[in-house]
């Protein structure tokens, strides 16, 4: 099939071109899409001559719209009606909202309209509604202030301005500015102020950074700061007497600082170097904030438990106080204080005694006990047991011999033999010669009596002696 071709007639082409031109012209001048215009709000001010077209409209310092029309209000009054276009983020606006005309910063110039949206429980205003003059505030102009001044005050103000002008334009007297920086020495105050403009870009850049930081890291940080400042101001207002004392103390402090103005001037001169050195430290401190915040979050449970922990510690503290009372540990400490000197003397004496005890122990371990473990060879009467056990057995035999059956107690019975061989002993000191009769002729005495008494050496250590020889030798008879 052959496709049918439709040709655009000159009339249709002209009609389409006219429509396109009309639409383009409308958007070029209107800059708004039909039936979707921005939200409009009107307000009546007692004096709105400081607000012009395109002046910003702000809520809590954030720009949310602009002024589109400024015209006299209806009626014979000198009031001004201001029409504003608001963005969606400015909504909702409530019927109890308040509007104020406020000056912008000295760098921005001109004025802006500040809106306080009102309470959430109030009704909302509609598109094109008007805020009455009872809910608006106009700025106080300089001429309004001057109109309130009397003639004398105006003359004083003129003198003040003349004096200020002379201070800015007057040359310093010789030697008057010797304490000033060499870069501005000999110049007028105006010239010195002009030189500060060389450093203004860097200073203003830092100010901009600080201003941006004041906005906070999250939404409504600045509004929360302002709200907190309101609470602080209210608290300060309730402490009027304390504020008076604060001002008095501030006056004293300021006077003290004024008396040390030379030191302050030197401090200010050195301050730039200090700030340059402090910048890396502040950067490191800024990097330390995230771990610090994390640590603060982790420590919160422990902080919450601190109160219950302290409460639980009170009984223990009460018991500890009783323990350290004069009746308990304090009394014990007093007794120990009296006993400590004696204990010190005992300790000193023990230090002298222990070496002697050590020597005695070494003598007992090296000489006495090995001697007691030996068997005395005495054939044919050798018992075969260590002599210390033989000693105890002899005591048992002696106890058996000395047993008595009357009130005289123990005694040893010795009976002489009935032989015909007389035996006598060598008289001992303080005794008589002893006699006996033996059945057989004695062969000698065992052990043999030594020919002389063994020598005694008190300087020789006992533990260095060798154990004695206990062999029983037979000596000559009587």
Q: How confident is the model at residue 3 (pLDDT cuts 50, 70, 90)?
A: very low
Find the range with the poorest average confidence among 1-15, 185-199, 324-338, 412-426: 1-15
Percent of the chain with pLDDT strictly greater than 70: 87
Task: Take residue 392 and report the two structure tokens written for it.
Answer: 């105890």
Q: 130-131 and 39-45: which strand pairing?
A: parallel
Q: Answer for the pair 136, 44: CB distance below 8 angstroms, yes or no.
A: yes
Whether the bond between 183 and the residue before it is cis, its omega within 30 degrees of 0, is: no
Please give the mean pLDDT across all residues of the chain. Answer: 81
Asked whether the predicted pLDDT for residue 310 surpasses 80, the reply is yes
DSSP one-letter code for 365 = I
Mean per-residue pLDDT, 72-94 = 86
Q: What angle do CA 125, 129, 133 make, to 5 degrees?
A: 100
Mean per-residue pLDDT for 440-466?
A: 82
pLDDT of residue 7: 60
How far apart CA 231 and CA 133 sit, in angstroms, is 29
* pLDDT on residue 1: 44
């Amino acid at each position: 099939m052959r496709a049918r071709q439709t040709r655009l007639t000159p009339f249709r082409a002209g009609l389409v071109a006219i429509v396109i031109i009309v639409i383009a012209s409308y958007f070029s001048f209107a800059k708004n899409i039909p039936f979707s215009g921005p939200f409009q709000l009107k307000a009546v001010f007692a004096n709105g001559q400081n607000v012009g077209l395109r002046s910003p409209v702000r809520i809590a310092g954030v720009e949310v719209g602009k002024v589109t029309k400024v015209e006299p209000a209806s009626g014979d009054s000198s009031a001004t009606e201001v029409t504003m276009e608001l963005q969606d983020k400015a909504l909702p606006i409530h019927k109890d909202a308040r509007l104020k005309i406020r000056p912008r910063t000295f760098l921005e110039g001109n004025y802006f309209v500040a809106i306080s949206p009102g309470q959430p429980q109030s009704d909302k205003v509609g598109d094109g509604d008007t805020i009455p003059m009872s809910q608006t505030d106009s700025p106080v102009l300089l001429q309004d202030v001057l109109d309130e001044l009397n003639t004398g005050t105006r003359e004083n103000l003129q003198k003040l301005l003349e004096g200020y002008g002379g201070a800015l334009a007057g040359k310093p007297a010789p030697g008057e500015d010797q304490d000033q920086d060499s870069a501005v020495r000999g110049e007028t105050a105006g010239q010195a102020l002009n030189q500060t403009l060389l450093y203004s870009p860097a200073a203003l850049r830092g100010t901009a950074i600080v201003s941006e930081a004041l906005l906070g890291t999250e939404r409504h940080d600045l509004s929360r700061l302002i709200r907190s400042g309101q609470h602080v101001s209210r608290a300060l207002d309730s402490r009027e007497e304390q504020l008076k004392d604060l001002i008095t103390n501030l006056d004293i402090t300021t006077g003290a600082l004024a008396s040390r103005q030379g030191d302050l001037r030197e401090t200010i001169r050195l301050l730039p170097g200090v700030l340059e050195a402090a910048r890396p430290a502040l950067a490191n401190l800024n990097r330390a904030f995230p771990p610090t915040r994390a640590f603060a979050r982790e420590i919160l449970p422990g902080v919450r438990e601190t109160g219950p922990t302290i409460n639980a510690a009170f009984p223990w503290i009460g018991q500890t106080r009783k323990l350290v009372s004069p009746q308990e540990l304090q009394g014990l400490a007093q007794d120990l204080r009296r006993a400590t000197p004696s204990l010190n003397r005992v300790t000193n004496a023990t230090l002298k005694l222990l070496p002697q005890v050590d020597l005695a122990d070494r003598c007992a371990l090296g000489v006495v006990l090995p001697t007691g473990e030996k068997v005395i060879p005495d054939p044919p009467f050798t018992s075969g047991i260590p002599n210390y056990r033989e000693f105890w057995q002899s005591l048992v035999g002696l106890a058996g011999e000395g047993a008595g059956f009357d009130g005289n107690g123990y005694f040893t019975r010795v009976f002489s033999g009935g032989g015909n061989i007389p035996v006598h002993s060598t008289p001992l000191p303080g005794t008589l010669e002893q006699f006996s009769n033996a059945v057989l002729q004695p062969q000698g005495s065992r052990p043999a009596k030594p020919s002389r008494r063994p020598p005694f050496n008190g300087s020789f250590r006992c533990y260095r002696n060798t154990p004695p020889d206990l062999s029983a030798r037979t000596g000559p008879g009587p």
